[in-house]
């Protein structure tokens, strides 16, 4: 292979093929090429002996890519066709990518069920098989219309050797795996953050309204309190309730969250207590020259 591709992600590649026809020749060579390129694949030979064949459907569900290897005797096997129906179902759900491979059959043979490929399908005459014919044909039509890898053209001629053909299949699989990788990685990272409570997929309108930013010196961070009970420190001192969420109770800011100037103000202006009075008259802090400075020395009494 001329091009070098980074080691692929270990998503499983399921190989669907007619075993009696291809296992000891074409598939054995394909398997060797997949192994050389460190591709995680699965064939029925890897299933444990004594296991139910329906477990192969689970292997399809575990896979991200399926190779459907169409050959002249492919449609002899009802089991191959059942696997193809499952592959189509997963592809329709967007959970599986399919690469059709046309080995010694033309794309037209498969699409239009012609020649030996089509005649072998007609041999399924049992009542049980007849009930499946419709789904089998639908799956064959759907998968064969996907862009795939034909070994011979519609005239029956091949422009490459079998080894070159297998190399091109492997290259296509590697590229498909790389395309799958970013989406899977992003989803995996997001799920981990959600499990740790770091990411929320839903933001309520009230929580959006609760986010407030106070104006001040850009060099120092604004005092913000994020949550269901939120208020702005400065807005609260002005008696401004627009920055509070509906039905929420204001939270008293911690002194460590206040600047030095705000600590002086919070010491003098304590809204948690009743405003001090003298003989029934309220005490006013500050004179016209020092209003807003919080200078205790300018305290005057109003009589």
32, 51, 62, 83: the active-site residue? 83
**Long-range contact list for 87-90, CB < 8 A, 24+ apart?**
87/14, 87/16, 87/60, 87/139, 87/143, 88/138, 88/139, 88/142, 88/143, 90/60, 90/61, 90/66
Cα gap 210→150, rounded to integer Å: 60
Among 85, 109, 88, which Cα is nearest to 98's?
88
At 56, is the secondary structure helix, strand, or coil? Answer: helix
DSSP 284: B
Cα gap 131→123, rounded to integer Å: 14
- Proportion of the chain in helix, strand, coil states, percent, rounded to 5: 45, 10, 45
Could you tell me if 39 and 9 are in contact, meaning their C-beta atoms sit under 8 angstroms apart?
A: no
In terms of DSSP H, where are the helices of 231-277?
233-238, 260-268
Please say if 273 is a catalytic residue: no
Taking the mean position of all CA atoms in its chain, how far away is CA 98?
A: 19
- Give whole-number Cα distances, 120 to 78, 107, 137, 269, in Å: 10, 16, 12, 92
| Active site residues per annotation | 83
């Amino acid at each position: 292979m001329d091009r070098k591709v980074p080691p692929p992600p270990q998503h499983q590649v399921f190989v669907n093929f007619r075993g009696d026809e291809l296992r000891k020749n074409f598939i054995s060579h394909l398997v060797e090429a997949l192994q050389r390129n460190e591709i995680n694949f699965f064939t029925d030979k890897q299933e444990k002996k004594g296991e139910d064949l329906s477990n192969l459907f689970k292997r399809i569900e575990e896979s991200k890519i399926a190779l459907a290897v169409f050959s002249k005797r492919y449609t002899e096997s009802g089991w191959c066709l059942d696997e193809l129906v499952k592959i189509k179902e997963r592809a329709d759900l967007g959970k599986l990518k399919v690469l059709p491979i046309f080995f010694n059959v033309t794309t037209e043979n498969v699409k239009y069920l012609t020649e030996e490929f089509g005649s072998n399908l007609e041999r399924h005459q049992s009542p049980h098989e007849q009930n499946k014919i419709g789904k089998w044909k639908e799956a064959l039509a759907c998968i064969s219309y996907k862009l795939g890898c034909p070994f011979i053209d519609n005239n029956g001629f091949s422009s490459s050797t079998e080894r070159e053909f297998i190399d091109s299949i492997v290259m296509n699989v590697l590229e498909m795996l790389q395309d799958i990788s970013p989406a899977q990685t992003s989803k995996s990272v997001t799920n981990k953050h959600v499990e740790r409570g770091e990411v929320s997929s839903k933001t309520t309108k009230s929580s959006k309204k609760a986010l407030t930013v106070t104006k001040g010196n850009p060099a120092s961070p604004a005092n913000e309190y994020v949550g269901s009970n939120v208020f702005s420190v400065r807005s609260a001192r002005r008696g401004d309730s627009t920055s509070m969420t509906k039905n929420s109770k204001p939270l008293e800011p911690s002194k460590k969250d206040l600047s030095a100037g705000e600590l002086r103000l919070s010491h003098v202006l304590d809204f948690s207590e009743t405003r001090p009075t003298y003989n029934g008259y309220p005490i006013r802090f500050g004179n016209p020259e020092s209003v807003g400075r919080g200078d205790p020395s300018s305290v005057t009494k109003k009589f």
